[in-house]
């Protein structure tokens, strides 16, 4: 899509709006024109397009997403449990603050990837409904692959940080028994 060279930002700023933003504006306008059968359905639909009016509502929406993933996604619960175990083990082993920060950030990365995977799967399911589409499979598989790679990386990071002090404790306890 080429822009008209006679239009400059100072003469027509709306010409430089991104196509995505313009599409969203059109969809929002169309959504307001349509009417629904019940006010409850209308309220749900409008909330999907509505920007959070304040910071507290933004946090509530974000927490709703995390809560949804925790209650519906088995893998998110598994990642949460393993992250809790890694952080607890780091505290128990008295790792340095830098090492603890690396563990926390790595665990958070895995959980963020799982949230993005859940969001992508939901959008793909919404798009293809109950039908099979090869591109939908590719999108879901790639998102799951991203989670897998981040989880493997997190395990390696935790192993490099937690295994040496853990191994030292095991050896010292074994020597006490001898």
Q: For the chain, give the percent of residues with pLDDT over 90.
A: 63
Whether 72 and 129 share a structural domain:
yes
What is residue 44's predicted lDDT score, i.e. its pLDDT?
A: 55
Say whether both 75 and 120 belong to one domain. Answer: yes
Same domain, 37 and 104: no
Sign, Cα dihedral of 101, 103, 109, 112: negative
pLDDT of residue 123: 95
Q: What confidence category does residue 8 fall into, taking pLDDT thresholds of 50, 70 and 90? A: very low
Is residue 122 over pLDDT 70?
A: yes
**23 and 85 assigned to the same domain:** no
Catalytic residue among 41, 46, 114, 173: 114
Q: Which domain holds residue 28?
A: 17-50
In a domain, 4, yes or no: no
Q: Domain for residue 79, yes or no?
A: yes
Question: Is 114 an annotated catalytic residue?
Answer: yes
Say what the pLDDT of residue 14 is.
41
CATH code of 108's domain: 1.10.287.3610
- Per residue in 45-104, pLDDT (tens digit) is 455 667 888 899 999 999 999 999 999 999 999 999 999 999 999 999 999 999 999 999
Q: What is the pLDDT of residues 24-60, one digit of tens each?
A: 443 444 444 444 444 554 555 455 667 888 899 999 9
112 plus 40 within the same structural domain: no
Contact 114, 147 (CB under 8 A): yes
Does 90 map to a domain? yes
Judge if 111 and 31 occupy the same domain. Answer: no
Task: Tally Cβ neighbours within 10 Å of residue 83.
Answer: 19
Predicted TM-score (pTM) of the model is 0.69
On whether residue 58 sits in a domain, the answer given is no
- Residue 171 domain flag: yes
Out of 50, 75, 92, pick the residue that ends a domain. Answer: 50
89 in a structural domain: yes
The count of domains in the chain is 2
Question: Can you tell me the mean pLDDT for 135-141?
Answer: 96
Average pLDDT over the chain, rounded to an integer: 81
Mean pLDDT score, 127-155: 95
Domain annotation covers residue 1: no
Residue 84 sits in the same domain as residue 153:
yes
């Amino acid at each position: 899509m080429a822009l008209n060279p006679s239009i400059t930002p100072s003469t027509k700023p709306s010409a430089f709006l991104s196509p995505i933003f313009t599409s969203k504006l059109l969809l929002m306008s169309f959504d307001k024109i349509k009417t629904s059968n019940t006010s409850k359905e209308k309220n749900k639909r409008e909330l999907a397009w509505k920007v959070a009016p304040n910071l507290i509502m933004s946090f509530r929406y974000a927490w709703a997403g995390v809560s949804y993933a925790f209650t519906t996604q088995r893998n998110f619960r598994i990642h949460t449990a393993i992250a809790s175990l890694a952080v607890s083990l780091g505290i128990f082993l008295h790792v340095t603050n830098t090492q603890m920060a690396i563990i926390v950030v790595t665990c958070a990365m895995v959980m963020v990837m799982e949230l993005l995977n859940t969001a992508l799967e939901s959008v793909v399911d919404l798009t293809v409904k109950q039908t099979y589409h090869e591109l939908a499979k590719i999108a879901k598989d790639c998102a799951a692959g991203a989670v897998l790679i981040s989880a493997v990386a997190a395990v390696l990071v935790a192993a490099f940080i937690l295994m040496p002090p853990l191994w030292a404790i095991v050896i010292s306890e074994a020597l006490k028994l001898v």
